[in-house]
């Protein structure tokens, strides 16, 4: 498991903004049938947060700029 906090202090609540993230490299050997997960949250007890505990977070994409997650496999 890996945690990487990101903050956007100048973002306006309720107003969409473009977001590109590069997560730190990490490697795992997964047994056949196991899955990889990605958790995104607005609050983490291990890090200082300026968001309310129930702050909503929404992700979307458009046909001209589709969202994707790239996972290299060796």
- Convert the pLDDT of each residue in 60-73 to its tens digit: 888 998 888 888 77
Query: Phi/psi zone of residue 33: left (φ > 0), alpha (ψ -120 to 50 degrees), beta?
Result: left
Structure tokens at 31: 């047994």
Half-sphere exposure of 24 (CA within 13 A, CB side): 7
Q: Cα 61 vs. chain centroid, distance in angstroms?
A: 14
d(C-alpha 4, C-alpha 24), whole Å? 8
Please write the tens of the pLDDT for every residue from 22-51.
Answer: 878 788 888 899 988 877 776 667 666 666
């Amino acid at each position: 498991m890996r945690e990487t906090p990101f903050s956007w202090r100048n973002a306006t609540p309720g107003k969409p903004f473009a977001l590109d993230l590069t997560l730190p490299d990490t490697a795992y050997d997964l047994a056949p049938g196991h899955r990889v997960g990605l958790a995104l949250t607005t609050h983490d007890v291990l890090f200082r947060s300026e968001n309310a505990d129930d702050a909503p977070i929404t992700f979307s994409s458009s046909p001209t700029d589709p969202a994707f997650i790239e996972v290299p496999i060796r």
